[in-house]
């Protein structure tokens, strides 16, 4: 909702080998998984396309998002710079869950983080060298349960540990089919307990006009945002309006050092 693709000199081959070894190490560490499901990073364009196909199914066909992809795939300019985390059902080998991961190094190559298109991230810029952006999270409708989400989060945690990254950012989305009242009410409900310190505050480029909306609607926090907050994440400011997905997006930041101890032993092991 997150252009130099190849090496050009022989002296970069050693760097590529190290990168491949690190990627393999990450994949090996992800293989501690519950029975019936497996998790890995996409290893080739065909596997990336499997993630993009699931994203299209969820975002375009289910949610009605206006996507720029083609051929039943959700594709944008950030995909080629990202790692793609895949959860598969082992019996069918079907991809049933995915996240995409943008490392700080690849964000530099891409010209910045995806969320910088929605928010002014200036106050977070001193953290960029140790910040991973995650996005395009989705799960097939038949597998939307705690086990699938927990596996994706565990995969993200292992990725961050392997690469020694400290912070994770991403957009938590709320549908605004009601005109935005639920999103405004959710932000109003969450800000008292979860709003970040001022030094981590971000500012929406196209703000949801929360002060013109009803902020007292009874609302249930979406499971993904609720999960982030339980882990120890901050909401970093007022929501932005994403016209393509017709959602209100809140920038969520999770410092790995702040992960709730109740969950740390499960995800950080």
Percent of the chain's residues with pLDDT above 70: 83
For position 113, what pLDDT does the model report?
98
Mean pLDDT value across residues 127-156: 90
Residue 246 inside a domain? The answer is yes
Residue 1 inside a domain? The answer is no
Pick from 221, 218, 232, 212: which is nearest to 190 by CA? 221
Question: In the numeric block, which tokens belong to residue 134?
Answer: 């995650």
Asked if pLDDT for residue 149 goes beyond 90, the answer is no
Asked if pLDDT for residue 27 goes beyond 60, the answer is no
Full residue range of the structural domain in which residue 122 is found: 32-267
User: Which H/E stretch holds residue 235?
Assistant: strand 234-235
- CB of 239 within 8 A of CB of 248? yes
Residue 212 inside a domain? The answer is yes
For position 98, what pLDDT does the model report?
95
Residue 20 inside a domain? The answer is no
Number of domains within the chain: 1
Distances (CA, A) of 143 to 32, 54, 150, 228: 19, 12, 12, 19
Q: At 168, is the secondary structure helix, strand, or coil? A: strand
Pick from 135, 124, 164, 150: which is nearest to 257 by CA? 164
Residue 21 inside a domain? The answer is no
Q: Which residues contact 58 (CB under 8 A, 6 or more apart)?
A: 138, 139, 140, 141
Question: Which tops the pLDDT comparison, 232 or 68?
Answer: 232
Per residue in 219-241, pLDDT tens? 999 888 888 898 899 999 999 99
Return the CATH number at 175. Answer: 3.40.630.30
For position 257, what pLDDT does the model report?
87
Asked if pLDDT for residue 243 goes beyond 70, the answer is yes
For position 268, what pLDDT does the model report?
53
Per residue in 104-116, pLDDT tens? 999 999 999 999 9
Give the predicted TM-score (pTM) of the model.
0.83
**CA 260 to chain CA centroid, nearest Å:** 19
Asked if pLDDT for residue 266 goes beyond 80, the answer is no
User: Which H/E stretch holds residue 19?
Assistant: helix 13-29
DSSP annotation string for 170-213: EEEEEE-TTSSHHHHHHHHHHHHHHBPPGGG--EESSB--GGGS
Residue 8 inside a domain? The answer is no
Query: What would you report as the CA-atom Rg of the chain, rounded to the nearest whole angstrom?
Result: 18
Lowest mean pLDDT among 57-61, 107-111, 211-215, 222-226: 222-226
Question: Which tops the pLDDT comparison, 37 or 70?
Answer: 37
Residue 17 inside a domain? The answer is no
Mean pLDDT value across residues 258-265: 68
């Amino acid at each position: 909702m997150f252009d130099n693709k190849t090496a050009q000199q022989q002296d970069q081959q050693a760097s590529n080998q190290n990168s491949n070894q690190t990627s393999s190490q990450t994949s090996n560490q992800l293989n501690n998984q519950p029975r019936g499901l497996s998790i890995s990073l996409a290893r080739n364009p065909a596997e990336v396309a499997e993630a993009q196909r699931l994203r299209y199914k969820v975002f375009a066909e289910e949610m009605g998002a206006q996507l720029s992809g083609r051929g039943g795939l959700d594709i944008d300019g950030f995909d080629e710079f990202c790692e793609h985390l895949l959860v598969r059902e082992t019996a069918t080998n079907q991809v049933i869950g995915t996240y995409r991961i943008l490392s700080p190094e690849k964000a530099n190559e891409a010209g910045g983080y995806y969320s910088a298109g929605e928010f002014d991230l200036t106050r977070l810029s001193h953290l960029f060298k140790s910040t991973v952006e995650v996005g395009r999270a989705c799960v097939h409708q038949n597998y939307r349960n705690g086990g699938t989400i927990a596996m994706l989060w565990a995969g993200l945690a292992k990725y961050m540990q392997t690469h020694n990254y400290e912070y994770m950012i991403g957009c938590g989305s709320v549908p605004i089919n009601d005109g935005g009242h639920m999103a405004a009410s959710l932000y109003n409900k969450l800000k008292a307990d979860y709003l970040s310190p001022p030094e981590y505050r971000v500012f929406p480029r196209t703000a949801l006009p929360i002060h013109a909306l009803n902020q007292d609607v009874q609302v249930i926090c979406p499971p993904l945002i609720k999960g982030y907050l339980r882990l120890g994440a901050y909401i970093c400011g007022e929501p932005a309006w994403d016209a393509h997905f017709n959602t209100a997006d809140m920038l969520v930041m999770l410092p790995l050092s702040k992960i709730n101890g109740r969950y740390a032993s499960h995800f950080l092991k």
